């Protein structure tokens, strides 16, 4: 068995695993849940399932399979997210209006794509087999991104329902007490930021480039609910001096007084989770706050948020790596004995770095170049990964990005400071 | 068998018939359709099914059944439409976000209500049996109103789907040619407007009162698509002099150039119907236009819209009555031989009368008084009934009401003029 | 001197008086005040001064003066309020952005129009002299309407200024105590509503027509601040059962808790007036409330608002007529000895009648037909006149109209009830 | 004469010069112009005149003058721009509603402040004299910033007036032909970015810090109207592939097809300038485009925008410095013979750098710390200076910042590229 055949076989296996993982996430959803869209920024689970299939169809099957018959003529438009190079898109804010195609029809669509993709991946003689494999890899990483979004999106949409639906039952109650909040210091350094190597990575992680760092220190874990509660109780949401101008305006207009899913009833705090509404566990990592809140908390702490360069350099220095653990539906706490610094697998960590091109960055040619490049404006970089990031998806150089106002991701706070 | 027993038996029968009719309407819906809400003014089918049950539970079971156990503690809030006297309401614009309770759970809710209601209706010894029967009658008429809304609402929500879902298959193609548009004249008269008698009617139809009419004439049928097309082709949508000031502004802001469900493709006109997208049948009654469009068309025709007094008086004079036909899903045309004047069963007819209280009107006491009275401002009266009005629901004195901007009802035009 | 000459002379005199009155109103304004526009519905004083001149220019000078040279080519568009038949209009909401033409230039414009108009009015030989006189009369009544608006608009715009500018000094403090609130009853009647005669009136006051009234009673004075304060203190703004559905929504969205110009400081009530911020005089007529508030107050009082037919019929029966008093800048109270019922000269009185066409109404042909007719939708009729209505402008049949939400006019409440 | 006395004398002189320059800018304004505010982001000239005085009053006079009597108790709130540490602010979007204080009153306010300030600056014995001088310097630079804003703001507000007011007469027509667009290359380098020295600078220019640059080239002049016209004529505004996602959305929603002040009449291009509406001079620098347009133009040119580090490093290498020329009201072109590279004095140049804190940045303590720091989010850095930047105000290290959507500044394009 030669290398190409082997590569194809491995990829088919990965393809099956990743595609199945999307379905696994939906196992306890009701058909009614598949169409939910409670704000323009989130998509219905059904749409995610269709769009990820559309990605394979549009960028691989239509390109590399001679005489490919598309599954449905209108799907090209219905499930195009934002690729102007492909054509018109169904309005993003109206995805929840698409009761048809039904869940069953979308499952048929997935199956059709899966069969065609797998037969293509077995065709090792295909003259463009290498590029097909590369695009397939991109498609699988794209699907994993949408798996994370399926979790965050359905959580957001569910949160409008006073019945507080639980998608999963509460896991066994592991008692845990956080380590104290300590910091590790780092000296002046010229570091290399960005991806180096041959493995899969997104275009926005390259080119790797030299960056000059001044001395700094970084927290050894993320902020927990107890610490954020102290901020609230100290009047954090009503002290203008702690906030960025845009953040203060956002807070005032939207009358924000707490993280996205915190609820107060009879003076008790609760948190909505994918296990339903639960009493707030103060030892757990804080999540679902936006950049403005993260920045205000840091100022209140007399610290600051790290830059993405600092984050990445520390990660390398401290040999932190994502492990391959499966998705958890809520971030866990770290025990005193734990050597993990929660760089990965807990909450995405807001940095003070804007999402912009690395020096020398070039987007890919064609519609696929719209994947990352056109969003390099007005957004902030988050680093690490979260409890709902699929296994094998995270990387030290991974750059997640959201608007400063966004709260529906599993986003939290890691503090930094000057030395 | 005494009268009360008989009345109870009849009512139980009516109860079963009307409640079943709601379910019949949903027969060809997919579970995914039950949650659709494409604008705040429309409700998902599931919500209609639950709310109509809530009405019986809130205004009858909780009041008249000792020790009544409510089906679910949160439903009182979730399915309260607008009764402030009952309590808080789940936000109207977010009804589409309620994937739970599921369709199945709502069906159980309906069954629970049905069983309790039927056993109550058999309890003829109940000291307040008469009032129970009256409220039950109101509940059934309320349910019929929501049956009509289920049709108009799902049609509206479906219209955002480029797949143009068809709930029903197109009925056999009856060829028809409209009668010419003729008018009947009426002399000066003192008429009695409003309901007189013992049968069921809404509070807004009373008290009957004397009204002085000047000579007028009224069209013998409603306007059809061909006639409205002539208005469009004559520049109707771009001639300010034909429009009310508010109507012109509405048209400009929303860039309106055609009725709600008309579509133009390759110079051909189509109309979205509950049978899917169909070539525009020019002989069929025009529907889904709002008051502004109706008024502009009338001005273009050098005629005017009738007042509700004129409409009702003509209806009596010409002995027009609603027949008991079952719901059709699209208005039909009238043949030359037809003696029906399309007062009923085709499209609701915009009048130039504002929806306001009849002299001496008193709303009922308590929360149920919110049914009609609090809407007597800023809306226009429509008279007649439409192709989706349930059999037995229409009346000569019936006052339907919508905002001048509303287009999603089966609303059309009957012209009038001075003599 | 023949009749035509006499008519011309009288008209010239009236012309001078009315035109001068507009300038008199501006006497204590600063140049900076002339450009103020704090919401789209109000216009800057300078714009009123120009637009009223535009009216004479557009509908008289350009039509009847051969070879008329317009003052400035762009003014046709800049000072056209809403006449689509004349052409494009500068956006209403941006009138405050027009620092040019300056006040001085607008005064020159007025002078130019005045000279041309007066010379036209002296030309009694003009073949269309009669129509010129009619239009001039309309122009003068139009100017008077704008004089009232100049008062209400500048008051509204000033109210955003924490310095609370006073245009005039507070008049001598006349002590007054209101009469008790009594009602006069009226029997069933067939009345004639609308203008009959040869004098000036607007098209919307005709044709006079027969209307059937049921017995009713009407308050002998308008509601005063003390009475409205009792409504507030009884929770009037927080009891949903008192409000129309649209009114409650308006109140909730805008967080309304008091009339437009009431302010509360250190538990004391103040009212912003054209004399500046003053302690609330509880004996004075309530003003600057909208239809929703008027309706809610009436329901709280267990009364209702009158219809415009009832108002007009009572006015005739009780021989109430507008007197010719000059503008006062705030409504006055009525003493026990006073025989006036405050039908005129105090506050416009909200009726429960929608502003719609009288039976047989025909708008004038051409652009001038846009004066009143195209607004006959979504507005409510107010009757009487206010403290800022110019002398000679009011009439028993006068129909003022505003949206239910509007509060910036001198609008108040007269109660009615069924008998 | 010792140093302190000398410093005081110099400062008094500067104070007079800068303060007078604000008044000079208003010389040809009409009183009516002083209140104009055509969008929330711009302020009326009168407000600028008052606010800059407020700055001296609030941060110097109230702090350092014992027993200081404020000019008017309400001015603290009325003319506070955004300093939450000082207290409440009059709503920014309503500054145009303040017809009072009048222009004359604001001039008195300025005079009062000027007299008190000058007497303070002469009091060299004041124990905090050094800090007073520092703050005064900040106040003067602050005033200069507002002088630039007075030009850009009144231009924006005037542009809504179809009369296209000219504040100044067109200067003599200097014929000019631009040099061809050439680039200068720069090698890999470790540069120092930020202010070093003892002179005045804003807190956001420090600390100077090391930055690693890769090879790049920078254009020798800014883009002119002819070049941007070519972009438009090549479909630049309708090719999605050229635009950032947020930029494309901005363009679509606002239907943008040209720079802010370009107008097309009868196929001819015009540009609104402070000299009135003028035929578009294609040789002049392009101005009044936002970051999205700058970025799209760069992509169309197959180049990119520079980073602020690249811009500053090039500026030093090429020994470009701001000259001390007085304000011009429109950018000039550079002739072939000209050695100036238009780094200064023409248009602000959009960089691809987000406005964020330099490593180690610390905002000042107290309310004055709100000056720059709280805006370090969501904005882009512009470098250089413009034709309306006051003499002596520009610096190589100066960081101007605006939102990516903002167009009303004299902002243009300098291209860069990788090597």
Instruction: Name which of D292, D352, D418 is nearest A356 (Cβ-Cβ).
Output: D352
pLDDT bucket at D204, cuts 50 / 70 / 90 = very high
Judging contact as 3 or more Cβ pairs under 8 Å, the answer for C and A is no
- Give chain D positions within 8 Å (CB) of A235: none
* Interatomic CA distance for residues B298 and B306, integer angstroms: 10
| Complete DSSP assignment for B334-385 | -BTT----SSSSB-EEEEEEE--PPTT--PPSSGGGGTTGGG-SSEEEEES-
Backbone dihedral region of A320: left (phi > 0), alpha (psi from -120 to 50 degrees) or beta? Answer: beta
On chain A, the residues whose CB falls within 8 A of the CB of B46 are 32
Distances (CA, A) of D92 to B218, C8, D39, D78, D372: 57, 52, 10, 10, 18
Per-residue pLDDT tens over the stretch A185-234: 999 999 999 999 999 999 999 999 999 999 999 999 999 999 999 999 99
**Interatomic CA distance for residues D77 and D92, integer angstroms:** 11
For residue C357, which residues of chain B lie inside 8 Å, CB to CB? 352
- Sheet of strand B411-412, all strands in order from the earlier edge strand to the far edge: B400-403, B379-383, B348-354, B411-412
The pLDDT value recorded for residue B205 is 98
Question: Do D272 and D266 touch, CB atoms closer than 8 A?
Answer: no
- The pLDDT tens digits for D362-371 are 998 899 999 9
- The contact set of D with A (CB < 8 A) is 82, 84-85, 190, 209-212, 214, 240-241, 243-248, 291-292, 295, 307, 352-354, 356-357, 359-360, 370, 374-378, 404, 418
- CB proximity list for D314: less than 8 A, separation 6 or greater: D184, D186, D218, D306, D320
Give per-residue pLDDT as tens, A57-97. Answer: 999 999 999 999 999 999 999 999 999 999 999 999 999 99
Asked whether the bond before C101 is cis by omega within 30 degrees of 0, the reply is: yes
Q: Looking at the predicted structure, is the pLDDT value of residue A112 above 90?
A: yes
Q: At how many degrees (to 10) do helices A225-233 and A291-300 cross?
A: 70
- The string of DSSP codes covering A254-267 is HT--S-TTEEEETT
What pLDDT does C258 receive?
Answer: 98
Confidence of residue A174 (pLDDT cuts 50, 70, 90): low
Per CB-CB distance under 8 Å, the chain B contacts of C247 are 377
| Mean pLDDT, chain C, whole residue set | 95
Taking contacts as CB-CB distances below 8 angstroms, the residues of chain D near A247 are 377
Inter-chain residue contact D103 with C32, CB threshold 8 Å = yes
Q: What is the pLDDT of residues C167-187, one digit of tens each?
A: 988 887 667 777 899 999 999
Closest-approach residue (CA) in chain C for B302: C362
CATH number corresponding to B183-418? 3.90.1580.10
The set of chains that have 3 or more CB pairs under 8 A with C is B, D
- Helical axes C3-25 vs C103-122, angle rounded to 10°: 170
Distance set, CA B26 to CA B14, B19, B23, B29, D206 (Å): 19, 12, 5, 5, 68
B188 vs A58: CA distance, rounded Å: 71
Give the position of tokens 């005149």: D49
Question: Could you tell me if D416 and D181 are in contact, meaning their C-beta atoms sit under 8 angstroms apart?
Answer: no
Task: Give the model confidence (pLDDT) of D98-136 as tens digits.
Answer: 999 999 999 999 999 999 999 999 999 999 999 999 999
Q: In what order do the strands lie in the sheet with C276-279?
A: C262-265, C268-273, C276-279
Partners of C238 on chain B (C-beta within 8 Å) are none
Mean pLDDT for D10-34 is 97
Of residues D415, C37, B38, the one with CA closest to residue A97: B38
| 419 residues of chain B, pLDDT tens digit each | 678 888 889 999 999 999 999 999 999 999 999 999 999 999 999 999 999 999 999 999 999 999 999 999 999 999 999 999 999 999 999 999 999 999 999 999 999 999 999 999 999 999 999 999 999 999 999 999 999 999 999 999 999 999 999 998 888 766 777 789 999 999 999 999 999 999 999 999 999 999 999 999 999 999 999 999 999 999 999 999 999 999 999 999 999 999 999 999 999 999 999 999 999 999 999 999 999 999 999 999 999 999 999 999 999 999 999 988 889 999 988 776 777 899 999 999 999 999 999 999 999 889 999 999 999 999 999 999 999 999 999 999 999 999 999 999 999 999 999 99
Q: What's the whole-number average pLDDT of chain D?
A: 95
For A87, nearest residue in chain D (alpha carbons): D240
Peptide bond into A207 cis (omega under 30): yes
Nearest to D32 among C31, C77, C78 (CB): C31
Tens of pLDDT, residues D164-194: 999 988 887 667 777 899 999 999 999 999 9
Inter-chain touch C377–B245, beta carbons under 8 Å: yes
Q: How many CB pairs under 8 A join B and C?
A: 81
From B97, B158, B165, residue closest to A161, measured CB to CB: B97
Please report all neighbours of D, defined by 3+ CB atom pairs within 8 A. Answer: A, C
Residues of chain C that touch chain D, judged by Cβ-Cβ distance less than 8 Å: 30-36, 38, 46, 74, 77-78, 90, 94, 96-103, 157-158, 160-163, 165
Chain C interface mutation, best of D99, D100, D164, D272, highest count of C Cβ atoms under 10 Å: D99
- Which among D212, D307, D359 has the least Cβ separation from residue A210? D212
ipTM (interface predicted TM)? 0.96
End-to-end CA distance of chain A: 56
SS3 B131: helix
Q: What percent of chain C has pLDDT over 90?
A: 91
Structure tokens at C55: 């009216």
C298 neighbors C415 (Cβ within 8 angstroms) = yes
Phi/psi at B365 (nearest 5 deg)?
-75, 150
* Segment D131-147, tens digit of pLDDT: 999 999 999 999 999 99
Which residues of C sit within 8 Å Cβ distance of B? Answer: 82, 84-85, 190, 209-212, 214, 240-241, 243-248, 291-292, 295, 307, 352-354, 356-357, 359-360, 370, 374-378, 404, 418
Chain A interface, mutation test: which of B97, B102, B156, B165, most A Cβ atoms within 10 Å?
A: B97
- Is residue A158 predicted with pLDDT exceeding 80? yes
Which of D223, D379, D361 minimizes the C-alpha distance to D298?
D223
User: B214, C360: Cβ pair inside 8 Å?
Assistant: yes
Of residues C30, C32, C78, nearest to D162 (C-beta): C78
Which pLDDT does position A176 carry in this prediction?
Answer: 77
Domain ranges of chain B: 3-158, 183-418
Chain D CB contacts of A354 under 8 Å are 354, 356
> What pLDDT is attached to residue A1?
59
Q: Provide the 8-state DSSP code for A53.
A: H
Q: Say yes or no for a CB contact (<8 Å) between A354 and D359.
A: no
pLDDT tens track for B175-230: 777 789 999 999 999 999 999 999 999 999 999 999 999 999 999 999 999 999 99
What does the alpha-carbon distance between residue C274 and residue C296 come to, in Å, rounded to a whole number?
Answer: 27
Distance from CA of D292 to the nearest CA of A (A): 9
Taking an 8 Å cut-off on Cβ atoms, the answer to whether A247 and D377 are in contact is: yes
D377/A291 Cβ within 8 A: yes
Residue among A84, A209, A244 minimizing CB distance to D214: A209
Q: What contacts D385, CB < 8 A, 6 or more positions away? A: D322, D344, D345, D348, D393, D394, D398
**In degrees, to the nearest 5, what angle opens at C-alpha A363 toward C-alphas A357 and A369?**
130
pLDDT of res. B360: 95
A164 with A276: CB under 8 angstroms?
Answer: yes
B76 Cα to chain A: minimum distance (Å): 12
Among the listed residues D394, D381, D315, the one whose alpha carbon sits nearest the alpha carbon of residue D351: D381
Residue in chain D lying closest to C91 (CA): D160
Indicate left, alpha or beta for A392 from its phi (over 0: left) and psi (-120 to 50: alpha).
left
Is the CB of residue C168 less than 8 Å from the CB of residue C329? yes
Q: What's the gap in Å between the CA of A405 and the closest CA on chain D?
A: 10
Q: Which two tokens stand for residue A144?
A: 């994993």
pLDDT in tens, A291-319: 999 999 999 999 999 999 999 999 999 99
Whether B162 sits inside 8 A of A30 (CB atoms) is no
CB contact under 8 A, A240 and D418: no
Measure the N-to-C terminal CA separation of chain C; round to a whole number of Å.
Answer: 56
CA neighbor of A84 nearest in space, from D72, D296, D187: D296
Tokens encoding C29: 């304004």
Taking an 8 Å cut-off on Cβ atoms, the answer to whether B214 and C190 are in contact is no
Q: Do the Cβ atoms of A214 and D359 come within 8 Å?
A: yes
Q: Which of A418, A280, A414, A396 is nearest to A342 (CA)?
A: A414
Q: Determine whether the interchain pair B214/C359 forms a contact, defined as Cβ–Cβ distance below 8 Å.
A: yes
Mean model confidence pLDDT for chain A: 95
Burial class of residue D258 (count of CB atoms within 10 Å of its CB; 0-12, 13-18, 19+): middle
Q: Do C84 and B241 touch (CB under 8 A)?
A: yes
| Residues in CB range of C399: below 8 A, 6 or more apart | C202, C204, C205, C308, C355, C381, C383
The whole-angstrom distance between B348's CA and the closest CA on chain C is: 19
A160, B97: Cβ pair inside 8 Å? yes
pLDDT, tens only, D282-333: 999 999 999 999 999 999 999 999 999 999 999 999 999 998 888 999 999 8
Nearest residue of A to residue D304 by CA position?
A360
Chain-chain contact of B38 with A97 (C-beta, under 8 angstroms):
yes
Mean pLDDT score, C192-202: 96
- Judging contacts by C-beta atoms under 8 Å, the chain A residues touching residue D84 are 240-241, 248
Q: What is the number of other CB atoms lying within 10 angstroms of the CB of residue B324?
A: 11
Residues of chain D contacting C97 with CB distance shorter than 8 Å: 36, 38, 157, 160-161
């Amino acid at each position: 068995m030669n290398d190409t055949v082997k590569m194809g076989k491995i990829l088919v296996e990965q393809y099956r695993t990743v595609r199945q993982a999307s379905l696994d996430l939906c196992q306890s959803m009701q058909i009614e849940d598949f169409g939910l869209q409670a704000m323009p920024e989130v998509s219905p689970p059904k749409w995610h399932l269709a769009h990820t299939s559309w990605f394979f169809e549009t960028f691989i099957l239509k390109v590399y399979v001679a005489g490919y018959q598309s599954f449905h003529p209108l799907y090209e438009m219905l499930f195009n997210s934002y690729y102007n190079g492909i054509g018109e898109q169904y309005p993003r804010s109206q995805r929840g209006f698409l009761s048809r195609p039904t869940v069953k029809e979308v499952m048929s669509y997935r199956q059709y794509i899966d069969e065609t993709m797998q037969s293509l991946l077995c065709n090792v003689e295909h003259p463009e087999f290498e590029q097909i494999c590369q695009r397939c890899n991109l498609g699988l990483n794209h699907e994993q991104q949408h798996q994370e979004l399926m979790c965050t999106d359905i959580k957001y949409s569910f949160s409008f329902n006073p019945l507080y639906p639980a998608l999963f039952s509460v896991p066994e109650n592991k008692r845990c007490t956080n380590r104290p909040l300590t910091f590790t210091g780092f000296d002046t350094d010229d570091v290399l930021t960005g991806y180096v190597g041959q493995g899969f990575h997104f275009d926005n992680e390259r080119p790797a480039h030299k960056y000059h760092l001044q001395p700094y220190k970084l927290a050894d874990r993320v902020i927990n609910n107890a610490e954020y509660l102290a901020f609230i109780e100290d009047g954090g949401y009503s002290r203008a001096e702690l906030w960025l101008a845009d953040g203060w305006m956002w807070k005032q207009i939207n009358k924000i007084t707490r993280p996205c899913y915190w609820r107060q009833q009879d003076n008790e705090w609760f948190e909505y989770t994918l296990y339903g509404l639960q009493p707030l566990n103060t030892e757990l990592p804080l999540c679902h706050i936006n950049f403005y809140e993260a920045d205000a908390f840091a100022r209140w702490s007399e610290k600051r948020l790290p830059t993405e360069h600092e984050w990445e350099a520390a990660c390398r220095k401290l040999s932190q790596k994502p492990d391959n653990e499966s998705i958890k539906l809520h971030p866990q706490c770290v025990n005193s004995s734990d050597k993990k610094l929660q760089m990965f697998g807990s909450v995405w960590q807001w940095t003070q770095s804007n999402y912009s091109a690395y020096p020398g960055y070039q987007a890919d040619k064609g519609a696929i170049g719209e994947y990352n490049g056109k969003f390099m404006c007005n957004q902030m970089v988050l680093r690490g990964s979260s409890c709902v990031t699929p296994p094998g998806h995270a990387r030290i150089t991974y750059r997640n990005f959201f608007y400063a106002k966004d709260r529906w991701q599993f986003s939290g706070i890691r503090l930094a400071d000057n030395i």
